[in-house]
Amino acid sequence: MKRWFTTLAATLFFIAATGLVIIQIWQIQRSVAISDSLFNTSVTNAMDEVIVAMENDKPDFVTDIDFPQLDSTIDQALLSTGLDVKPALGVCPTDFSEYYYLSAPGLERKMEDSPYKYSFSLPDDPVEYYLILHFSDRALFLLKNSNIFIYMSILLIVIISISYVITARTLQNQRKVEAMRQNFINNMTHELKTPITTIRLESSFLQECRDLDSEQQQQHLQVIHSENERMLQLVESVLRNSRMARKKFTLRYSEVDVNQLVEKEMRRAEVRVEKAGGSQSLELGSGLPAVVADVEHLTNAVSNLIDNAIKYSPEHPTITARTRVDGKWVCISISDKGLGISKEDLKHITETFYRVGTGDRHDVKGFGIGLSYVQQVVKAHHGKLEIGSKLGEGSTFTIKLPVAAINNK
């Protein structure tokens, strides 16, 4: 997928999602505002009826009013308008100088601030009075009456937000995979180009120089053969990883002597280590039980770890291979004192095509599939791959294979 198209799609989705969220919030506010307006209208209508009824009773003075009865009348009037809510009632002069009735003591200040004030006067009383209502659960009542729409809106907002996060992460992962894929193609092309170029040059030389003796011809043919084997190994490593990723592979189990396998692979790497001016050591555990495993895949996995230890070490690599028994596990550890791996890289190091940065070193070759292959081999054997590393100090990779559980193959 083209990067510009991915960016455009993400931007359009973000705009659409943001627009929907804003609309939903506006709808919630509008719903609450409508409920608030209906609430106020219902309260006003109910209180108009109450005041008319009270004036029809024709009390001479405010002290003649039956306040508990008035409180009950207000509750019934509100209920008749559809408001099943119990307000606090206060009766006082319009200057708030004193309260003749307060159904809930301690609410004097809130009564003064209440928007629900309804004035009335009495025939023989020169003072004008307020009937004041205070709804302590008004907000809860409005939310309750708008709850279905609000809950639906909140649910939609949550779904939209989750969808956006998932989409953003998916697009980010796609970009990451695309970058790793492109890096793999570049590395693969570079790795294949070298032996192909060598074979072409050697072949051309043999064609042009027909006066070579058999020994010289054999040397050039050996170079061609060696480079051809190198290409085959590169292709095989890619195909092998592909088969493992698609789980289209068969493990051929047999008893494997872990010490013998590790020692053999370390001997194979000895020339490379010495050539780099480094050193290697073996610490083989005694009395290790044989494990039941696929010797070819296990050998390749150990070889990959040793190869990485050499590649990611400085000029003089120091490689140590250890074997031991840890409870129910037979452990194979490959350690180096190389570049080390950062905490961020450790999270992704076994992902296919992922390669650790090598700082100022630009001669580290690879495709980013070695550790992915090792991880898949270990999982196929019901084992564990443990990685310990500190940047600048080196790394230790440990393959842990079950002593007995693997026999359930």
pLDDT at position 408: 44
**How would you write the chain as a 3-class SS string?**
CCHHHHHHHHHHHHHHHHHHHHHHHHHHHHHHHHHHHHHHHHHHHHHHHHHHHHHHCCCCCHHHCCHHHHHHHHHHHHHHCCCCCCCEEEEEECCCCCCCEECCCCCHHHHHHCCEEEEEEECCEEEEEEEEEECCCHHHHHHHHCHHHHHHHHHHHHHHHHHHHHHHHHHHHHHHHHHHHHHHHHHHHHHHHHHHHHHHHHHHHHHHCCCCCHHHHHHHHHHHHHHHHHHHHHHHHHHHHHHHHCCCCCCCEEEECHHHHHHHHHHHHHHHHHHCCCEEEEECCCCCCCEEEEHHHHHHHHHHHHHHHHHCCCCCCEEEEEEEEECCEEEEEEEECCCCCCHHHHHHCCCCCCCCCCCCCCCCCCCCCHHHHHHHHHHHCCCEEEEEEECCCEEEEEEEEECCHHHCC
Domain boundaries, the chain: 3-145, 177-245, 253-407
C-beta of residue 135 within 8 angstroms of C-beta of residue 85? yes
Q: What is the CATH number of domain 253-407?
A: 3.30.565.10
Beta bridge partners of 332: 323, 399
**Taking the alpha carbons of 92, 98, 99, 105 in that order, is the dihedral positive or negative?**
positive
Strands 279-283 and 101-102: unpaired
- Domains 177-245 and 253-407 equal at CATH topology level: no
Q: What is the pLDDT along the chain (409 residues), one digit of tens a residue?
A: 456 666 676 677 677 767 776 776 776 677 667 677 888 888 888 988 888 888 777 777 788 888 888 888 888 898 888 787 888 999 999 999 889 999 888 888 889 989 899 988 887 788 899 999 988 776 556 555 555 566 676 777 777 778 777 877 777 777 777 766 766 666 666 666 667 777 777 777 777 776 777 777 777 777 777 777 767 766 766 666 666 555 556 788 888 999 999 999 898 888 788 888 889 999 999 888 888 898 888 988 898 899 888 888 877 889 999 999 988 899 999 999 888 888 888 887 877 666 665 444 434 454 556 788 888 889 888 999 999 988 888 899 999 998 854 444 4
Give dist(CA 110, CA 232) in Å, integer.
87
**Rama region for 351: left / alpha / beta (φ>0; ψ in -120 to 50; rest):** beta
C-beta of residue 323 within 8 angstroms of C-beta of residue 331? yes
Q: What is the CATH number of domain 177-245?
A: 1.10.287.130
pTM above 0.75, yes or no: no
Give dist(CA 272, CA 319) in Å, integer.
11
pLDDT at position 405: 45
Structure-block tokens of residue 250? 């068969």
CA-angle at 241, arms to 238 and 243, nearest 5°: 110
pLDDT at position 146: 54
Strands 279-283 and 318-326: parallel
C-beta of residue 326 within 8 angstroms of C-beta of residue 402? no
C-beta of residue 174 within 8 angstroms of C-beta of residue 126? no
